[in-house]
Amino acid sequence: MPEFLTLLPPKEALERLFAHISFNPGSEDVDTISAPGRIVAHPVTAPHPLPAFPRSTVDGYAVRAGDTYGASDTLPAYLTVTGEVSMGTSPDFSLTAGRCGLIHTGGMLPAGSDAVIMVENTQVVREGEIEALRAVSVGENVLKIGEDVAFSDEIIPAGARLRPAEIGGLMALGITRVSVARRPLVGILSSGDEVVSPEANVRSGQVRDVNSYSLSALVEQAGGVPIRYGIIPDDAGRLFEVAFQALQACDLVVITAGSSASVRDLTAQVIDALGKPGVLVHGVNVRPGKPTILAACAVPAGSPPKPVIGLPGNPVSALVIAYLFIVPTLHRMLGMTNPEARLGLTARITINLPSQAGREDWVPVKLRMENNSFLAEPVFGRSNLIFTLVRADGLACIPADATGLEVGDPVTVFLF
Amino acid sequence: MPEFLTLLPPKEALERLFAHISFNPGSEDVDTISAPGRIVAHPVTAPHPLPAFPRSTVDGYAVRAGDTYGASDTLPAYLTVTGEVSMGTSPDFSLTAGRCGLIHTGGMLPAGSDAVIMVENTQVVREGEIEALRAVSVGENVLKIGEDVAFSDEIIPAGARLRPAEIGGLMALGITRVSVARRPLVGILSSGDEVVSPEANVRSGQVRDVNSYSLSALVEQAGGVPIRYGIIPDDAGRLFEVAFQALQACDLVVITAGSSASVRDLTAQVIDALGKPGVLVHGVNVRPGKPTILAACAVPAGSPPKPVIGLPGNPVSALVIAYLFIVPTLHRMLGMTNPEARLGLTARITINLPSQAGREDWVPVKLRMENNSFLAEPVFGRSNLIFTLVRADGLACIPADATGLEVGDPVTVFLF
């Protein structure tokens, strides 16, 4: 458990944490109407085919295709109009040879018809009779039953996020309730004798709590529910007490420690004492955020361990590490599939950026568009000041196997 | 106002609409804690500098830099330890020549000191005395007052979205309330005799309302508040009545019309009658979604016109057109700056896609990563079935000046 003896790469560190957690998100049924953004807990299947009846895709006449064979401008086929299909009803007539029915886009085909001829390809001869000026083939301009989805098709896999299209698709099938992953509860503790509430009158030497709020916002954005346990003084007993209470109530506990080495050690000891197996990773080969702690703690003993993440106190380090470790942990808890695709884009770096080989660097960048591709311009700030992040659009990764980037090199940028 | 006489390109169509609307979003004050995702209404300035006092960025000793000049491993400078800076307090001592003070990361520099020497570069000689093993320069390892932001700096411009970093930055400055753009109210009307509520028992010939719900989800995602006015039968009088009521109450009204030409004409006439100047665009050179209506209607007469958007009834066309017209209108109403950068990524198309020159095509695509770059694979579906969108990650644009795309061509993909 001592700090910094072995610095794991971030990916390995996260894998080590995940290996000790049994992800079992739990689900709840909600109204589809309130489900946008939620993650589907179980695969959703179609209770009936869609469309549920054969529909016309054009304005025209429902016909028996055979009646139009050979028809052309010069040699039209004559058809008797039997009736008109009213929208929203089952046609009250059926077609026999030589007959057709007026139909609108979305209308239901009458029995006996197997195609629709577009109104543009017809001509009214007299009341009740038309000329078909071309031939249509069987199925032309018709949506067959089940052509969108068939009965019992899996329409939404478990782990998918409900976007506007999914909400519409569920409603199309009459699925007005849906089972979604329960939102993980995330306990957030800020520690540090110098940290005071944002509402407080700040005295010289004190700083306001930033991390409780920036992390809350990130947790919400990632699909979790933040629960703030306030500011805890640098006292092992008090920190243990609050962290233990948070761990009983929450699915994940995040503690931001002070920045000095002694306070970080105190935090690591408290986390390790919370439950077995305790601290798994102490120090990660990443900048910023080296003094990160990843732990899994079983409370009570013998129960499945829950993740506890110790973040550096610096607001920028805390937020960068939260993007690297808390967001993927929440996505995993939610059972999300392929969440990365949403966030990364490729840009070209605008300056040379040296970096230490073997260490992964995350650099705040501002994006701008030039010739239809993105340029990523690093936003520099001494000692990771919070407003360097405010001035950035996202984080660019300098991979561990690089010794830096040269002007024009492609970088993956994760957007805030 | 007749349909399809002049098909405008989508960008020009939107510009014509925007030219008739006076965007005046209005603002409201909210707790910073509840503000993630909201758009800042007025520029936010710093009420005081940050940091508010000189802070150490390392664990070590606050010193007068001059006292360390020339110090080295072999010729250290001897300094007397006057005291220790407690975190969160103003130091109760100041430094005179030859003296130093123990300080932790984030601690406040005592009066008289102008630099910090890292603990690694010192050695304790005896209780109360240390050796400085190297020289530090003035300001070394110190964050000066205002180094993050200076007093009255603009820290967040109007139109910016409040992300986790902004929330943290506001709290760092004690700004616990913030003025954000009021969420625009969006009235949504579904029309069509064949359309029934998702809860209803569906009879043959009827379809469930998809658009009210997919559009509601999209409006929420874009920062608006959806208000559903239900399903209106294809009756001009009733449609006018409900649309007029919606327009009085909302900032934007969206009507999805049935798909047949006669119903679309009815919708256009109703929209045009709502208020002046009425229908501005009737038909857009885009696929899907050609029968789009853009209007600006003053209710009551003489008041600033509000946008009214008529969407095709097909759920895919409706959603694609909503991404192209409703989302940018909402972003403009919210006063958002540079909203596009968040959504577009570049991918390479996996097949040849023909398209008609002069028309902009939007194709649902599934993304996959190969060799660190995105491939966009078109998801095809006849007649724009809603589940083709469910199977897609976003929409790829085939620009109007292209006659199609060839395998490997870059495309911009807007993610759902």
* Cis preceding-peptide flag for A312 (omega within 30 of 0): no
Question: Under DSSP, is residue B176 helix (H, G, I), strand (E, B) or coil?
Answer: coil
Question: Under DSSP, is residue A348 helix (H, G, I), strand (E, B) or coil?
Answer: strand
Q: What is the DSSP letter of A235?
A: -
Task: Look at residue A56 in the predicted model and tell me its pLDDT.
Answer: 96
| DSSP letters spanning B322-364 | IIIIIHHHHHHHTT-SS-GGGTEEEEEESS-EE--TTSEEEEE
Q: Dmax over Cα atoms in chain A, in whole Å?
A: 96
* Residue contact A315–B149, C-beta within 8 A: no
What are the tokens at A14? 């996260």
Q: Is A56 in CB contact (< 8 Å) with chain B?
A: no
Task: Look at residue B257 in the predicted model and tell me its pLDDT.
Answer: 86
**What is the pLDDT averaged over residues A372-381?**
85
Instruction: Give the pTM.
Output: 0.94
Half-sphere exposure of A95 (CA within 13 A, CB side): 28
Question: Under DSSP, is residue B23 helix (H, G, I), strand (E, B) or coil?
Answer: coil
Q: What is the DSSP letter of A273?
A: H
For A368, the closest chain B residue by CA position comes to B341
Rounded distance between C-alpha atoms, residue B231 and residue B238, angstroms: 11
Distance from CA of B117 to the nearest CA of A (A): 14
* Residue contact A172–B208, C-beta within 8 A: yes
Q: What single-letter amino acid sits at B342?
A: R
Task: Look at residue A223 in the predicted model and tell me its pLDDT.
Answer: 96
Distances (CA, A) of B36 to A314, B28, B100, B165: 21, 14, 44, 10
For B141, the closest chain A residue by CA position comes to A383
List of residues 6+ apart from A211 with CB closer than 8 A: A188, A190, A256, A311, A313, A315, A318, A319, B168
Rounded distance between C-alpha atoms, residue A277 and residue A303, angstroms: 11
Rounded distance between C-alpha atoms, residue A166 and residue A155, angstroms: 9
Q: Which of residues 278-307 of A touch B (CB under 8 A)?
A: none
pLDDT band, very low/low/confident/very high, at A382 (cuts 50, 70, 90)? low
Q: Which residues of A touch B89 (CB under 8 A)?
A: 203-206
| Interface test mutation site (partner B, options A196, A213, A324, A367, max chain B beta carbons within 10 A) | A213
Task: Look at residue A342 in the predicted model and tell me its pLDDT.
Answer: 53
List of residues 6+ apart from A69 with CB closer than 8 A: A77, A135
Rounded distance between C-alpha atoms, residue B379 and residue B363, angstroms: 8
Predicted confidence (pLDDT) at residue A1 exceeds the cutoff of 60: no
Which domains, and CATH codes, for chain B?
10-26+182-340 (3.40.980.10), 27-50+147-181 (3.90.105.10), 55-143 (2.170.190.11), 343-415 (2.40.340.10)
Question: Under DSSP, is residue A385 helix (H, G, I), strand (E, B) or coil?
Answer: coil
Task: Look at residue A216 in the predicted model and tell me its pLDDT.
Answer: 98
Pair B386, B359: CB distance under 8 Å:
no
Q: Would you give the end-to-end CA distance of chain B in angstroms? A: 32
Q: Is B361 in CB contact (< 8 Å) with chain A?
A: no
Rounded distance between C-alpha atoms, residue B72 and residue B79, angstroms: 14
Predicted confidence (pLDDT) at residue A259 exceeds the cutoff of 80: no
Nearest to B387 among A148, A211, A412 (CB): A148
Rounded distance between C-alpha atoms, residue A342 and residue A331, angstroms: 12
What are the tokens at B38? 């909201």
* Residue contact B166–A259, C-beta within 8 A: no
Task: Look at residue A263 in the predicted model and tell me its pLDDT.
Answer: 84
On the 0-12 / 13-18 / 19+ scale of CB atoms within 10 A, A251 is buried
Task: Look at residue B338 in the predicted model and tell me its pLDDT.
Answer: 65
What's the ipTM? 0.94
**What is the pLDDT averaged over residues A67-81?**
97
Distance from CA of B274 to the nearest CA of A (A): 26
Rounded distance between C-alpha atoms, residue B150 and residue B47, angstroms: 9
pLDDT in tens, A14-26: 999 999 999 987 9
* Residue contact B207–A51, C-beta within 8 A: yes
pLDDT in tens, A262-293: 888 899 999 999 999 999 999 999 999 999 99
Rounded distance between C-alpha atoms, residue A102 and residue A115, angstroms: 12
Residue with tokens 């306001």: A208
For A38, the closest chain B residue by CA position comes to B217
Q: Is A234 in CB contact (< 8 Å) with chain B?
A: yes
Rounded distance between C-alpha atoms, residue A186 and residue A295, angstroms: 15
pLDDT band, very low/low/confident/very high, at A338 (cuts 50, 70, 90)? low
Task: Look at residue A280 in the predicted model and tell me its pLDDT.
Answer: 97
Q: What is the DSSP letter of A312?
A: -
Q: How many CB atoms lie within 10 A of CB B28?
A: 12
Rounded distance between C-alpha atoms, residue B104 and residue A115, angstroms: 81
Pair A79, A67: CB distance under 8 Å:
yes
Q: Which residues of B touch A59 (CB under 8 A)?
A: 260-262
pLDDT band, very low/low/confident/very high, at A3 (cuts 50, 70, 90)? low
* Residue contact A218–B90, C-beta within 8 A: no
Indicate if the alpha-carbon torsion angle A317, A321, A323, A326 is positive or negative: negative
* Residue contact B87–A258, C-beta within 8 A: yes
Task: Look at residue A171 in the predicted model and tell me its pLDDT.
Answer: 98
Q: Which of residues 180-199 of B touch A (CB under 8 A)?
A: 192-196, 198-199
pLDDT in tens, B322-351: 999 999 999 999 999 866 555 677 889 999
Nearest to B213 among A33, A319, A392 (CB): A33
| DSSP letters spanning A390-403 | HT-SEEEEE-TT-S
Predicted confidence (pLDDT) at residue A341 exceeds the cutoff of 60: no
Closest alpha carbon to B4 in B359, B298, B308, B329 = B359
